[in-house]
Amino acid sequence: MDGIHDLGGMQGFGKVPHTNNSLSYKPVFHEDWEHLAYSLVFVAADAMKLISIDELRHAIERMDTRHYFDAPYYDRIIIGTATLLVEYGAITKAQLDACLGTDFKLARPYASSGRPAIAERSPFEVGEIVKVRDEFVSGHIRMPGYVRGKEGKILHRTTVKWPFPDTIGHGDKSAQMQSTVGADRKLSQFCR
Amino acid sequence: MNHQAVGESLATPGDRARALFKVMNDKKLIPEGYIETFIKHMEHDWDPSNGARVVAKAWVDPVYRELLLKDGTKACEQFGYTGPQGEYIVALENTPKLQNVIVCSMCSCTNWPVLGLPPEWYKSFEYRARLVREGRTVLRELGEDLPEDVAVRVWDTSAETRYMVLPVRPDGTEQMNEEQLAKLVTKDVLIGVARPRVA
């Protein structure tokens, strides 16, 4: 999905709001509700076994562009979790609205039904030069746009396989398992 | 007149989080004690001092270093530092001529058990957009002005691998024990935006 979440390489942003080693990182949470974001999504994924974290990522990607850009990080987690719970019928939007006392704005509906995993091919080996597929996927995908069609060298092949995000990110639990690779881009404009 | 926009402006992110909690709780979807346990993990168990201990051991123990670079998951598991968002761990070895830096350009993926939850700046649009394109400049702005002959290699956390940076042990630390060494390894060092400094 070529959405606003795919920020890698985008220009026009100012300085990162940080100076090295200036924070103690305690407390972990700065507002009294922030702990709820990860807690509630793990209730849905781990305790209820209802959703995958891939679906959460995709739900957040499905937020209206302005909505996404306007909402703080933990707010996006809450909105994504609420969207999935409503879509699965575990709760209703009416209940959320009643509880909030106003419209509880959710993410937009799926624009795509996802896609099945690409048939298993022989795995790449470390050192091989590979090319990222030059394809456009309107559903969930874990390929940042800046590597599309680019060549790079394999530095690592995972020893574990995981469900294909383009499938499981749409709630399809039949997602085929695949290993992933870490690649080093040979891109002068990205390697300054 | 957009009534929806007016209504939205009255609700804060905290209001939404509490509303979702209440609706889920009223439906009995939240197991007893689940959130309390999860908070304990997030606030206490998952901490950058974990990664610092791993790095310090790798600096003093060549056998452990080899394991960490070959099988980061197994090396971190020895300390009990695996868990959600830290199930497949890869340690990135810095050299005098290479600085590894971690980002998640599409969201915020971080090695929770080893580094702790991601800080606000790591999740910022600025870091996500700029690091992959102008890493050297971003590091300079953050306070790490790398010599020209040091390459910057950015690792975008786009799948299930969760990274940690293994920095170069600084000169002048020959007499330090593991505990003293671990103090040099901050969260920012583990992310890769900073190098360890001897005070």
Rg (CA), chain B: 20
Inter-helix orientation angle B62-70/B48-60, to 10°: 120
Domain A33-100 in CATH 3.30.365.10 = no
- The CA distances from residue B191 to A21, B80, B104, B167, in Å, are 11, 20, 11, 10
User: Tell me: the pLDDT tens digits for A88-147?
Assistant: 999 999 999 999 999 999 999 999 999 998 877 788 999 999 999 999 999 999 999 999
DSSP code at position B163: E
Average pLDDT over every residue of B144-170: 97
Looking at the complex, does the CB of residue B9 fall below 8 Å from at least one CB of chain A? no
pLDDT at res. A191 = 25
Do the annotations mark residue B108 as ligand-binding? yes
Q: Where are the domains of chain A?
A: 33-100, 128-185
Mark residue A116 as left, alpha or beta (left: phi above 0; alpha: psi -120 to 50; beta: remaining): beta
* C-beta atoms surrounding B174 within 10 Å: 6
User: Tell me: the pLDDT tens digits for B40-50?
Assistant: 999 999 999 99
Residue B8 pLDDT more than 60?
A: no
Which top CATH class is B47-191? alpha beta
End-to-end CA distance of chain B: 60
Q: Which H or E run includes B100?
A: strand B98-103
Contact A143, A134 (CB under 8 A): no
* C-beta atoms surrounding B138 within 10 Å: 24
Confidence of residue A175 (pLDDT cuts 50, 70, 90): confident
pLDDT at res. A183 = 66
Residue B7 pLDDT more than 90?
A: no
Whole-model pTM: value is 0.94
**Which B residues in the span 40-79 are in contact with A, Cβ-Cβ below 8 Å?**
42-43, 48
CB–CB contact A29 B107 (8 Å): no
Chain A / chain B CB contacts < 8 angstroms: 220
Residue A186 pLDDT more than 70?
A: no
Domain A128-185 in CATH 2.30.30.50 = yes
Residue reference for tokens 């304990």: B40
Confidence of residue B67 (pLDDT cuts 50, 70, 90): very high
Question: Which residues of A fall within a CB distance of 8 Å from B132?
Answer: 8-9, 144, 146, 190
- List, by residue range, all CATH 3.90.330.10 domains of chain B: 47-191
Torsions phi, psi for A168 (to 5 deg): -70, -25
pLDDT at res. A188 = 28
Confidence of residue B119 (pLDDT cuts 50, 70, 90): very high
Residue B5 pLDDT more than 70?
A: no
Residue A187 pLDDT more than 80?
A: no
Say how many residues make up chain B: 199
* C-beta atoms surrounding A33 within 10 Å: 19
| DSSP-based three-state secondary structure for A152 | strand
User: Tell me: the pLDDT tens digits for B86-118?
Assistant: 999 999 999 999 999 999 999 999 999 999 999
pLDDT at res. A184 = 63
The beta strands (E) that lie in chain A are given as 129-131, 151-157, 162-163, 177-178, 181-185
